[in-house]
Structure 1
Amino acid sequence: MEDHGASLGAGVGDMMAPALISVHPDGSCVVVAIGAGLRIFDLLRNEQVVVSDETVPARHGEAIRAISFNDKGNFFSSAGDDKLVKLWNTESWSCIKTIRLPKKVTSVAFSKDSKWVLFADKFGAVYTLPTAVKEEKDEPAQLLAHCCSIITDLEVTSEGKYIVTSDRDFKIRVSVFPADPLKGAPEIWSYCLGHTSFVTCTAFVGSQTSGQQLLVSGSGDSTVRLWDYKTGKMLHVFDTNELEAVRDDKTVDCAARAVIGLSVSPDGSIVAVLLERFTGVLLLEYDDLGKRLKHLQSIILSEHVVPTSLAFDVASRLWIVAGAAESIELGDQLVTPEEAAAAEARAQMTAKMAVAHVRLIVRCSGAVGQDAEKAAHYELSEKESMLGGEALLSTLEGGRADSGEVAVAAEAAEQAMRKLMSKRQYTLQERENRKRFRNDKKFERNEV
């Protein structure tokens, strides 16, 4: 993997990490990760959730980059730049496992039987860990690798037979989920090739019960593509640049906006799309008969902030968050426990002070006659009528969510993402310096 710096030491403030949002499978709680912090709101009790963590380290020390519930909702995982993967029991919201990887973590997912948590890193490797608590120490086992290319997303198919991974080098790989994950996943089933820029996100459309689900993917080439992932065949290309709402949004002076987020409704029929520097959400409809994606609706946020993450809940409501926090990095140098604790405290304070916007998009109620078409449309819920009310907003937004401040932070996070996904060209001298200061290489001094 090629990174963006040739020097050693801590880097503070040189990156921004986007806010992420996830909803419990039964809709009972909403989680926002911003910086190194988790903000959780219980919709049934209408109150903030306080987590407990007696593992070591007991808190994330750098930005969280991936969060996920398992299908049953009894597990939740968070992971990120501190190379930590934390597994949480959602009944008590206590952390039951913490492990550290050699590289920063970019994505997490669970097996369909909930026996395994999977996580991918910046070096292109995917690891797995059993969710069961054991007396002996758990060690992650490597499942597969992408040859030093940053893995951007990780998904498991609805029937649990395949692992889908996407990366910075334009490709999507479909691997067979092994009978014994501890022995790796060496069997590659197919590749989905066709994107002309880095792939950012993937999801599945269609009914889970039919067994005929297809894959959708988003990319830096501004397209959302539809795939038969079992054969690797590309079925349709939806170019977001062709939409009037995107062309009319003047917040960015570039021909191509990266697709930065995807979420699919529970029935598999609606694909919600986030675009780089676009102050709204695109809703695409999946045509199962024609195997195509069609534009359904464009929803523009009145605050003119760019959403950074989104997630459908079980009732087909679409939750979106806009925001980012400064990523405080320790780097790979050796530090004392006191220095590590101080950096962790700074990261937690930065996360606590970060502000975000949380909004809810709801499906319009059904109608008859001439208004029947409205049944397929969505509308932005007013802030005053948000599910969870002021208590939810106070918990998830983190204080006074000034739209200007949120917009600037979100833009900085997108620029950081662009920087990470675009391979840097190095001079000969820079390459030599990078070889000398590789953090996985030991040097011995010759005594004179």
Structure 2
Amino acid sequence: MTAVDFCGQWLIFTCDTKLLAIHTKQSRESFVFDCSTAEKKPKNTKDDNNSDGSASEERGSDKVLAFTVSPSGKLVALTDDTKRLVLFRSEPSWQCISIRWVVRRCTSLMFSRAEDELLVTDKSGDVYSFSVVEPQREGELKMGHLSMLLALSMSPDDKYIITADRDEKIRVSHLRSPYNIQSFCLGHQQFVSALLVPPSHPHWLLSGSGDGTIKLWEYESGRKLQSWDLKELEETPNSEADKRKKPTVCRITSSPDGCHVAVQCERVSTVQFFSLDQEGEEKLVPHSRLSLPHYPQDMTFDPEGRLWVVMDSSDAPLQIYTHRRDSWECDTESPEMNRVTAAFKPHWETLEASTRTHNRLEHLYKVSFDNVTAYLQKKQQRLEEQQLKRMKAQKANDNKKAKKETSDAVTHSST
């Protein structure tokens, strides 16, 4: 998984099995953590005989599946395909604090605002809590869904935990007593793949889905405030197939001041920007679109409000965009971009093109089966076969009758 975020002035990348931290302002030594060379899982851990797969299931590929940065930017956590949960401290210097083990492969991570707790969601629908204060302590099960969890968020006051799953549900639960469900935000028609509580509007929630929509919620009550179909905001599609295909939202991120919300869709070379209006009738307003030279892999805003985009390109994998005069312009000569690209590019070039172009969310679409149509087709086929048999039987009877009449006629004439 290729992902990017900021930890203070450090730009964090995950690239295949590695996490890289590159300082954007100073010529400091980059930090690299490679999961393929990290501590292996002890054989005597409690979940060795866990029902989650066989022995082959335990041997993962070491690829990073998800990572997150704490609100203060002092902590970073990642999880990988071998079920590691790794906690880092970035100040005063980079340090790996602990390596723990999760029960199942994780899908998303998030620190609490108090930074004393790390919440982890997994593919079976469970949410675990890991202590940050006691970095060697095992995780505790907090709550569960009946479907794979795909996205996680929290209210800024640490009161609510917001989880989204493959079955189109967004659940708002009390963090300290997760069995107490505050509300559901229901309305998406496909899996919910992205969540964001905007920093400028702590009582609102933005959600993105495989149904190609962005929705705005008042999450405490579960009330939907607005919905935008991203297909309607696109330029004219190139083909009929493009017209029918729904864009899959894979990332929603906000500038630090909350003025700009950027939405990224999988395998779409544009970024859609929105603004949030507290007073207006339309609270979620499309602002502008940014066309990219290549498909974006991930994106994030830096502390100054510039948008950093990692793209599917060997020549120029990273670009910075600044908002000027109601449009987003590429900073081609940015010294920060040159410094970061020089440190990042060697790792990026080791990735195969097939790895970079992989659709991470495509397999989440559910295949629908029209049993009624199949039943009616079989019934029609059965009726036609029965009709054919009746016709053959009738024809055979007619032939027998004709032969008998001919035989009787011959007998009669001979007498």
TM over 0.5: yes
Runs of 5+ unmatched residues, structure 2: 42-59, 370-415
What letter matches 2:328 in structure 1?
Answer: Y
The equivalent residue for 2:247 is 257
**Number of the residue aligned with 2:230:** 240
Shift of 1:292: 2.3
Aligned to 1:294: 285
Query: Structure 1 residues 386 and 402, CA, compared in 2 at 3 Å: closer, same or farther?
Result: farther
Q: Does 1:317 align with 2:310?
A: no
Q: 1:162-311 residue pairs with structure 2 within 5 A?
A: 162-178=160-176, 185-205=178-198, 207=200, 212-245=202-235, 247=237, 252=242, 254-290=244-280, 291-302=282-293, 305-311=294-300
Q: Deviations over 1:22-55 (max 9, x none)?
A: 111x3x1101101111122112323442246997
Which aligned pairs between 1:37-76 and structure 2 lie closer than 5 A? Answer: 37-51=18-32, 56-57=39-40, 61-76=61-76
Task: Kindly indicate whether structure 1 or structure 2 has the higher relative contact order, using CA contacts under 8 Å at least 6 residues apart.
Answer: 1
Counterpart position of 2:365? 422
Q: Is the 8 A contact 2:189 2:211 kept in 1?
A: yes
Give distance in 2, aligned partners of 1:267 and 1:235. 21
Partner of 1:205, secondary structure, is coil
8 Å CA contact 1:261, 1:273 repeated in 2: yes
Maintained 8 Å contact 1:251/1:277: no
- Determine the structure 1 residue equivalent to 2:104: 103
Cα shift at 1:269: 2.6
Query: Partner of 2:341: helix, strand, or coil?
Result: helix
Note closer, same or farther for the CA distance 1:259–1:424 as it changes in structure 2 (3 Å cut): same
User: For residues 221 and 379 of structure 1, what CA distance do their matches in structure 2 show?
Assistant: 30
Cα distance 1:196–1:186, how it changes in 2: closer, same or farther (>3 A)? same
Q: Over residues 195-238 of structure 1, what are the superposed CA-to-partner deviations in whole Å (9 max), with x where a residue is unaligned?
A: 00011101022625xxx531001100110000000000111011
State the TM-score, normalizing by the size of structure 1.
Answer: 0.71
Cα 1:281–1:46, aligned 2, differ >3 Å: closer, same or farther? farther
Distance in 2, Cα, partners of 1:399 & 1:129: 30
Counterpart contact for 2:154–2:197, Cα < 8 Å: no
Alignment check: 8 A CA contact 2:190 2:365 kept: no
* Cα 1:307/1:141, change in 2 over 3 Å: same
Residue aligning to 2:336 = 388
CA gap 1:397/1:150 in 2 versus in 1, 3 angstroms: farther
Larger CA Rg, structure 1 vs 2: 2
Matches of 1:168 and 1:155 in 2, distance apart? 16
Structure 1 pair 102/424, CA: closer, same or farther in 2 (3 Å)? farther
Partners in 2 of 1:387 and 1:125 — Cα distance? 43
Mean Cα deviation higher: 226-235 or 263-272: 263-272
- Please give the TM-score of this superposition, normalised by the length of structure 2: 0.76
Contact 1:88 1:95 in 2 (8 A): yes
Contact 1:357 1:401 in 2 (8 A): no
CA drift of 1:111 comes to: 0.6
Q: 1:52 to 1:241 in 2, by over 3 A?
A: closer
Once residues 236 and 159 of structure 2 are traced to their aligned partners in structure 1, the CA distance between those partners, rounded to angstroms, is 37
On the 8 A contact 1:251/1:278 being kept in 2, the answer is no
Are the aligned partners of 1:108 and 1:154 in contact in 2 as well (CA < 8 Å)? Answer: yes
Partner residue, 1:82: 82
> 3-state DSSP class of the match of 2:73?
coil
Counterpart secondary structure, 2:296: coil
CA drift at 1:400:
7.5
Indicate if the aligned counterparts of 1:323 and 1:409 stay in contact, CA closer than 8 A. no
The corresponding residue for 2:346 is 398
1:190 is displaced (CA, Å) by: 0.7
CA separation of 1:246 and 1:22: change in aligned 2, threshold 3 A: farther
Could you give the per-residue CA deviations for residues 308-341 of structure 1, whole angstroms, max 9, x where no partner exists?
21111221111111349xxxxxxxxxxxxxxxxx
Counterpart secondary structure, 2:235 = helix
5+ unaligned residues in a row in structure 1: which ranges?
Answer: 1-17, 179-183, 325-353, 365-373, 427-448
Q: Which moved more, 1:101-110 or 1:91-100?
A: 91-100
* Residue 100 to residue 388, structure 1, CA distance change in 2 (3 Å): same
